[in-house]
Amino acid sequence: MRRIRRPVIVLPVLALVLSLAAGHASADTSYNLEFQPPPAHFIELPDSEPQIPAAIAGQRLDWKPCTEVGLIAAANGNPAAGVRAPLLDGLDCATVRTPLDWTQPEAGPVATFEISRLPARKPASRQLLTSPGGPGAGSLLNPIEWATAFPELRETYDLLGFDPRGTRLSSTDQDCDATISGDPLLLGTGRNDRTDVLDFSAESVRLQLGQARDWVRSCVDRTPDASTAGTITYWQTVRDLDLVRALLGAPTWSYLGASQGTMLGLELARTFPDRVDRMVLDSVADPAVSTAAGYAERFSRQQKVIEQQFAPWLAARHTVFGDTTDAVLAALTRLRADLTAHPIPLPLDRTFSGNDLNTLFFGVDNSPYEVLERKLLTLRTGIDSPSATTQLNAAMTFRMTPLLDELAQDVLLASSRIGWWTARNCNIGPWSHNLDEVVDTARQLAARAPLTYLGLGFAAVCAFWPETHTGTGSADYDRIGSAVLLANERDPVTPISGARTVRSTIPNARLVTVVGKPGHLVLPQTKPKGLPGSVPGTSSCARAVTVDYLVHGRIPDRDTPCQPD
């Protein structure tokens, strides 16, 4: 047996971790938070493939209309599932029983999760598993989104979606209180102005760490069964999904995934290389970079984009922010300071603060620079000339539209996936439990990226998380048969370096690059009923390569540059 770090889930440890009684201060900190981060607990992952229990392997998929499943979920206390139900028209759904813990499938309890199917227009012998990425890396609605953008796929495939373990319709639902923090990395929805994330005074650090502690406490207190927390990993999920393949009677299937869904696809394909025959990965997350390192790299990279690309561009526009790059950067720094000192009030007990400005800059290159320019001018006017009109402009720009998008996302996913997002991110990497180390690393990062650093984020939350493990298997990517990898050359979220890394490790992979294109995601995805969140796609050339590969099995002879539309 090979020793791989993974959590032992021990409820008394949870109680110890989250205790607020005096006398539990960490020995290696001076933050006086009256508790200590958890110690690491490990068990072994099996080196061989876990055997599927007979009762699990012998189950039959009881397909029924997904609208019916949604209404049943609504009757059982999930109103968002009921609202989503009409959007699932045309899909069939089934409940899958799976071992809660694949390290001991025979001994442990059983978990359940939901899958969906959009049948091919004519009887098909091929199955295509889909994931659009984002928190959750899967949804019952995915087959409709992909089929609307790629109607050709339905001539060849049954399209499959899933609400995986850890999400609301599963028996392992994870739940955290999103209002505790406004940290965007956590997908927090609370106020983000209680302290400046660039302030590393003892008082500010105590407050930020306290929010992280309270976030984890809410996850444990609100999750129906805290013992499920350590099982929310891709190592477990890909075994759930391969069980689905077996229950469908499919010797092999194909995979189409984007963004975070590329991580799941890679784990599935390298774990079961003989069972995934065609794989398309759009905007590939770099598997060689940890979550912590990935965020740190993005902070620094986006700071450079602001300094070297956006600021010169804005200087040439001759706005109130100045006519030179240095003047623009100084003006943006002043804007941040002003927003920190005097956050702009927004409806529903929210504000727009200096921390929120960093969130805007963190997303640079996700939209045209003109959009960011208009938002910055709105903020500057809101501070310099406060009035009912400027307040309304700020409210519509920075509160109402994001709120509507957030509500729409919760409907599409049948509830918030913040609990899943927290459990998965804290479970997959070797996060430090030393608070001094966490804070010192953050301080250095904030100094390098003062306009794009977003806060302690998962580094702090996962320091208090009661589970620790490496979270992936050991198989190499060179076991994967073939893949088409898609990337916008200037993607700010999943840099093209990730696709290049994967390209170098899969012998029969091809990289399709949309030349010079900023923005995240290459392929189109279409939300039903005109709901927000549709992706228009960046290149018809890349779309054509994808269809040719998935439908006809033709892979390009070499890596392919594509021009943007």
What is the DSSP track for 86-132? GGGTT-EEEEEEEES-TTSTTTSPEEEEEEEEE--SS--SEEEEEE-
pLDDT at 398: 85
pLDDT at 27: 38
pLDDT at 307: 98
Distance CA 17, CA 430 (A): 18
Distance CA 241, CA 275 (A): 11
Q: For residue 372, name the pLDDT band (cuts at 50, 70, 90).
A: very high
Non-local CB neighbours of 12 within 8 Å, separated by 6+ positions:
none
What secondary structure letter does DSSP report for 22? T
pLDDT of 544 higher than 50:
yes
Tens of pLDDT, residue by residue over 388-438, are 888 888 888 888 778 888 888 888 888 899 999 999 999 887 888 899 999
Distance CA 481, CA 279 (A): 9
When the pLDDT of each residue in the chain is averaged and rounded to a whole number, the result is: 89
Q: Is residue 61 part of a domain?
A: yes
pLDDT at 16: 35
pLDDT of 355 higher than 70:
yes
Q: Specify the CATH number for the domain of residue 255.
A: 3.40.50.1820
Q: Which of 130-134, 203-207, 220-224, 387-391 has the lowest mean pLDDT?
A: 387-391
pLDDT at 348: 85
pLDDT at 45: 66
pLDDT at 12: 34
Q: In the numeric block, which tokens belong to residue 558?
A: 């070499």
Q: Is residue 25 part of a domain?
A: no
pLDDT at 458: 96
For the segment 232-237, the average pLDDT, to the nearest whole number, is 93
Largest CA-CA distance found in the chain, in angstroms, rounded? 71
pLDDT at 39: 65
Q: Is residue 7 part of a domain?
A: no
Q: Which residue has the higher pLDDT, 273 or 35?
A: 273
By the 8 A CB rule, do 487 and 496 touch? Answer: yes
pLDDT at 5: 33
Q: Where are the beta strands (DSSP E) in 314-453?
A: 344-346, 350-352
Q: Is residue 264 part of a domain?
A: yes
pLDDT of 178 higher than 80:
yes
Non-local CB neighbours of 297 within 8 Å, separated by 6+ positions:
289, 495
What secondary structure letter does DSSP report for 398? I
Percent of the residues in the chain that have a pLDDT greater than 70, as a whole number? 91
Tens of pLDDT, residue by residue over 442-498, are 999 999 999 999 999 999 999 999 876 655 666 789 999 999 999 999 999 999 999
pLDDT at 461: 96
Model-level pTM?
0.91
Percent of the residues in the chain that have a pLDDT greater than 90, as a whole number? 73
Q: Is residue 532 part of a domain?
A: yes
Q: Is residue 512 part of a domain?
A: yes
pLDDT at 392: 84
pLDDT of 152 higher than 90:
yes
pLDDT at 19: 38
Q: How far is CA 156 from the centre of its chain?
A: 29
Q: Which residue has the higher pLDDT, 150 or 132?
A: 150
Helix (H, G, I), strand (E, B) or coil at 176: coil
> Read out DSSP for 455-515?
-SHHHHHHHH-S-----S----GGG---EEEEEEEE-SSS-HHHHHHHHHHSTTEEEEEEE
Q: Is residue 272 part of a domain?
A: yes
Torsion angle in degrees (nearest 10) through CA of 482, 249, 169, 259 = 10
Tens of pLDDT, residue by residue over 42-61, are 556 666 788 899 999 999 99
Q: Which of 36-40, 181-185, 382-386, 436-440 has the lowest mean pLDDT?
A: 36-40
* Alpha helices, H only, 21-65: 54-57
pLDDT at 42: 53
% helix / strand / coil in the chain, to the nearest 5? 45, 15, 40
- Domain holding 280, by residue range, is 54-171+231-289+471-562
pLDDT of 509 higher than 60:
yes
pLDDT at 102: 93
Q: Is residue 340 part of a domain?
A: no
State the first-to-last Cα distance of the chain, in angstroms, to the nearest integer.
52
pLDDT at 204: 97
* Cβ neighbour number for residue 214 with a 10 Å cutoff: 18
Q: Count the domains in the chain.
A: 1
By the 8 A CB rule, do 137 and 261 touch? Answer: yes
For the segment 264-286, the average pLDDT, to the nearest whole number, is 96
